[in-house]
Amino acid sequence: MNLDKFNDPEIVKKIALSIEQEASKIPKTVKIMHICGTHENSIVRFGLRDLLPQNINLIAGPGCPVCVTSSRDIDAIIDLALKENVKILTFGDMLKVPGSRLSFSKAKSMGADIQMIYSIFDAIEIAKDTNKPCIFFACGFETTAAPTAAALLEINLPNNFFIYSVHKYTPNGVYALLKSGKISMDGLILPGHASTISGLKAYERFVNEFSIPSVAAGFEAVDVMLAVLMIIKQINKKEAKIENSYKRVIRYEGNKKALEFLDRVFYLTDALWRGLGEIPESGYELKDEYERMDAKKQFSINYSDSYIEHQKGCRCSDVILGNIIPTECPLFAKRCTPADPIGPCMVSDEGTCKNWFDGGYGEI
């Protein structure tokens, strides 16, 4: 695919102009939220906020899978890794996320056997080379849950391979937040990757129940700008429907095969989202048939009641909810930097604070 036309400056400038015209008809500030870490990354990378009129406020929601993984789960696995002869395998960004006391990488320097992997397939290969029980700490939204499911179904997993699932299902998470009134917005940019799996169908009830203009978008500059324009147009027309500006990738029904895999392997259950509490039907848990691989069932895992989701002063949950922007957190770029993150939002390239730090907002 030629990505160039999706980053064509002339097209972007034209869209920016149309956005300005449409926005001038709206007498108030419009809050458009995206719920995708990669969108935030693109917005910062392309400097898109610079191109929007004053009254269009583009904010980040709970879009980073690393950010929403609860300390309770991180603590429990670290605890296990320090006590028992097991190997923990997880994604690079996950390693640095602070739990209540330790991060995986700090636990590693204390002797826990924790290794970074790029995908579940790496993890399986590593398990084949050892007799040690290997636990894959599986985080991520449906985009990452789908490969986990596929691996379970399609590969003969070694006997020493286990999965600890903290996978989460985006649409139900956001739905619950909307319902609770914790987040509010005038328009929603639907996630690019996750929607390829869940499809736009999964968001239909948002639009119906909360009348939120919603547009699915890809990750190039044109994609995001176009989604903003389409949302403002809906607002001006007093409409609220789902539109798809990313037809080259996303389908209304989603990816049927991936959905079927997910359905065969997982069931949805109440899950803890970091800083947001328990959200109904938003976590992927392994079905009973997969008990053999389910680390939660095969190991004695101790959950503490007193886990700390966010350190003192950290405003991550407000950042995730779009209530504040990262620079409003007193720790931002001072005590909290990617080299030494206080909160999870400063860890991964999908984390809002990390993106803002990298892009140097407020510094130019």
Partner 1 sequence: MKSEKITLDHGSGGKLTLKLIEEVFKAEHSLDAAILSEIAFTTDSHSIKPLFFKGGDIGKLAISGTVNDLLCVGAKPLYISSAFIIESGFEIEQLKRIADSMKKEAEDANVKIVCGDTKVVENGKCDGVYINTSGIGKIIRAIDGSDIKDGDKVIVSGYIGDHGFAILNERENLGIDAELKSDVANLTDLILPIIESDLKIKIMRDPTRGGLAMCLNELCYSKNFGFEIEESSIPVREEVKVISEILGIEPYYSANEGKMVIVVDKDDAEETLSMLRNNPKGKNAAIIGEVKSELEGKVVLKTAFGSKRILRMPISDKMPRIC
Contact positions toward ligand SF4, by CB under 6 A?
A: 36-38, 63, 65, 141, 143, 170, 191-194, 314-316, 319, 326, 329, 331-332, 336, 342-343, 345-346, 350, 353
Choose among ligand SF4, partner 1, none what residue 283 binds, the Cβ cut-off being 5 to 8 Å by kind: none
Q: Which is nearer to partner 1, 10 or 305 (CB)?
A: 10
Choose among ligand SF4, partner 1, none what residue 358 binds, the Cβ cut-off being 5 to 8 Å by kind: partner 1
Residues found near partner 1 in the complex (CB under 8 A): 3, 7, 9, 12-13, 16, 37-38, 41, 44-51, 65-66, 91-94, 105-106, 109, 118, 121-122, 139-141, 143-144, 193-194, 219, 221, 337-340, 348-350, 357-360, 363-364
Rounded to a whole number of angstroms, the minimum distance from the CB of residue 171 to ligand SF4 is 11
Geometric angle at alpha carbon 346, from 343 and 347, rounded to 5°? 100
How many CB atoms neighbour CB 241 within 10 A? 15
Q: Which is nearer to ligand SF4, 250 or 293 (CB)?
A: 250
Residue number closest to ligand SF4, CB atom:
343
Exposure string over 106-136, b if 16+ CB within 10 A, otherwise e: bbbeeebbbeebeebeebbebbeeeeebbbb
Closest CA to 178 of 276, 267, 268, 36: 276
State the Cα–Cα distance between residues 126 and 37, nearest whole angstrom.
29
Q: Which is nearer to ligand SF4, 265 or 346 (CB)?
A: 346
Rounded to a whole number of angstroms, the minimum distance from the CB of residue 344 to ligand SF4 is 6
Rounded to a whole number of angstroms, the minimum distance from the CB of residue 224 to ligand SF4 is 12
Choose among ligand SF4, partner 1, none what residue 315 binds, the Cβ cut-off being 5 to 8 Å by kind: ligand SF4
State the Cα–Cα distance between residues 60 and 18, nearest whole angstrom.
23
Please answer whether residues 160 and 133 qualify as being in contact, where contact means their C-beta atoms are separated by less than 8 angstroms.
yes
Choose among ligand SF4, partner 1, none what residue 336 binds, the Cβ cut-off being 5 to 8 Å by kind: ligand SF4
Give counts: helices (H), strands (E), the chain: 15, 11
State the Cα–Cα distance between residues 342 and 118, nearest whole angstrom.
24
For residue 151, what are its two tokens? 């691996």
